[in-house]
Copies of this chain bind each other. A is one copy, B any other.
Amino acid sequence: MSSYAGAMEEADPLTDALVQSAFETIAVLSRVSAEHDLSLTLVRVLGILRDRRLRISALAGFLGLERSTLSGLVDRAARRGLVERLPSASDRRAVEIALTAAGRQLATSVAAEVRQALAPHTASLAPADRRRLQQLLERTLTQPGTGAAK
Contact = CB atoms under 8 A, between A and B. Distances in A.
Interface of A is mostly: helix
Contacts of A18: 21, 25, 118, 121-122, 137
Interface string A132-150: 1110111111100000000
B129 A136 contact: yes
For chain A, give the interface size range.
35 or more
A110 to B, nearest CB: 11
Residue of A12, A29, A137, A138 with highest tally of chain B CB at under 10 A: A137
A125 B142 contact: no
A2 interface: no
Contacts of A23: 22, 26, 44
Interface of A: 7-15, 17-27, 29, 44, 64, 111-112, 114-116, 118, 121-122, 124-125, 129-134, 136-142
